[in-house]
């Protein structure tokens, strides 16, 4: 059977091309040479999602090339995925092949694993899930030593936990994370550790406060909170907010206030455009913000939020889209200069890359 092509022998050349692209994008801003943080060449991806394809009377793991939903690439294993995913793939397939209850109308499988060895499998169906499915799924979860989530229209059945437990090391300290099923998490754990370490170092030890936008499950919040007096963090996803609150509590981090607001809403609040009930009890004027940390979606920061960041002495920016990063820097370049930058190869063998910059007031 075939699989998506990747060749570790080409890795260094691909990474050099990404670096050249980032240097070109940041050249108009006189950015320094980027630090480059590479990835493991294989078994680096902690998440994997497969459609199932029937052939010769059996269901197979399948992926599709972009734009082609009709020509499956059938898989026995997936070498870019974690060793845990690869260990689970044949065992799960054997289980559904042996059980009509598990296989009937099963159309998609998702794996979520961690560097710490935890695993969760999501099985998606085109049918209601009944007591017979629950009984079979409980036996499967026990046999594989995983948590398991069954999904169908209007149903979400959880066996075990609906999150995986991760442990990431930053500057000699281990941080513990709950990463929920269905919520965003960084797919490349080793590169994520490097991103956290770079951001921790770039922020430095501060005596003032940090504003964090788009905080997600608190991935960056936990280590960065140890560098400042206190943090005001925002996130709009309810699942991510709940995970972040649990992560703060699990790690004993008590200098963070987290509010469920979008970056645009917080901008309105700080500009006193309108009040928000979700900010009741939080005295915005008590903060002495010196730095802002942003990790926005691919579209980057909207113009108003970008203008908001101009108020801060330091803007620490992690980007999954260097093109929109460059556009945001162009808006800020008259007041802030790029003093550090980095390339994080979260997605080897693709054109995607993560970048980080520190902008400081001129």
Q: Of 215, 320, 323, 341, which one is the catalytic site residue?
A: 320
Residues 6+ apart with CB under 8 A from 186: 192, 195, 219, 346
pLDDT score at 246: 96
The Cα–Cα gap between 133 and 102 comes to 6
pLDDT score at 5: 58
The Cα–Cα gap between 234 and 243 comes to 13
If one counts the domains in the chain, the total is 2
pLDDT score at 271: 81
Examine the domain organization and report whether 30 and 62 are in the same domain: no
Examine the domain organization and report whether 69 and 31 are in the same domain: no
Of residues 325 and 272, the one with the higher pLDDT is: 325
Please indicate whether residue 320 is annotated as part of the active site. yes
Q: Of 42, 181, 235, 354, which one is the catalytic site residue?
A: 354
155 in a domain, yes or no? yes
Q: Which residues pair with 314 in a beta bridge?
A: 291, 360
Q: In this structure, what CATH number is given to the domain that contains residue 97?
A: 2.40.50.1070
For residue 197, give Cα distances in angstroms to 63, 64, 162, 201, 251. Answer: 34, 35, 28, 6, 17
pLDDT score at 263: 82
Examine the domain organization and report whether 211 and 357 are in the same domain: yes
Examine the domain organization and report whether 293 and 265 are in the same domain: yes
Examine the domain organization and report whether 204 and 279 are in the same domain: yes
Question: Residue 346's closest CA among 215, 190, 214?
Answer: 190
Domain extent at residue 324: 8-41+188-361
Examine the domain organization and report whether 196 and 330 are in the same domain: yes
70 in a domain, yes or no? yes
Examine the domain organization and report whether 101 and 241 are in the same domain: no
Examine the domain organization and report whether 243 and 341 are in the same domain: yes
pLDDT at residue 18 tops 80? yes
Residues 6+ apart with CB under 8 A from 70: 64
pLDDT at residue 353 tops 90? yes
pLDDT tens digits, residue range 280-330? 888 888 999 999 999 999 999 999 899 999 999 999 999 999 999 999 999
């Amino acid at each position: 059977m075939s699989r998506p092509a990747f060749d570790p022998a080409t890795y260094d050349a691909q990474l050099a091309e990404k670096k050249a692209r980032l240097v070109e994008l940041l050249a108009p801003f006189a950015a320094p040479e980027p630090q480059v943080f590479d990835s493991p060449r294989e078994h680096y991806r902690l998440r994997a999602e497969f459609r199932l394809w029937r052939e010769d009377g059996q269901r197979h793991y399948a992926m599709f090339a972009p734009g082609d939903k009709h020509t499956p690439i059938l898989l026995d294993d997936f070498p870019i995925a974690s060793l845990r995913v690869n260990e689970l793939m044949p065992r799960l397939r054997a289980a559904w092949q042996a059980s009509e209850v598990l296989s009937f109308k099963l159309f998609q499988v998702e794996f979520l694993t961690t560097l710490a060895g935890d695993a969760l499998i999501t099985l998606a169906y085109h049918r209601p899930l009944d007591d017979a499915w629950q009984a079979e799924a409980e036996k499967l979860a026990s046999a594989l030593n995983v948590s398991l989530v069954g999904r169908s229209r209007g149903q979400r059945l959880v066996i075990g936990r609906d999150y995986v437990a991760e442990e990431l090391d930053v500057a000699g300290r281990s941080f513990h994370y709950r990463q929920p099923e269905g919520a965003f998490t960084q797919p490349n754990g080793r590169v994520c550790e490097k991103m956290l370490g770079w951001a921790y170092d770039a922020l430095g030890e501060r005596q003032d406060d940090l504003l964090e936008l788009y905080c997600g499950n608190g991935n960056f919040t936990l280590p960065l909170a140890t560098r400042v007096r206190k943090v005001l963090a925002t996130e709009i996803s309810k699942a991510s907010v709940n995970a972040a609150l649990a992560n703060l509590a699990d790690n004993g981090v008590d200098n963070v206030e987290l509010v469920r607001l979008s970056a645009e809403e917080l901008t309105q609040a700080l500009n006193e455009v309108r009040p928000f009930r979700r900010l009741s009890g939080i005295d915005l004027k008590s903060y002495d913000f010196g730095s802002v940390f942003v990790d926005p979606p691919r579209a980057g920061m909207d113009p108003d939020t970008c203008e908001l960041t101009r108020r801060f002495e330091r803007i620490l920016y992690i980007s999954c889209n260097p093109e929109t990063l460059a556009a945001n820097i162009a808006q800020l370049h008259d007041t802030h200069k790029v003093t550090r930058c980095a390339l994080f190869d979260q997605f080897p063998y693709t054109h995607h890359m993560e970048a980080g910059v520190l902008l400081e007031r001129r």
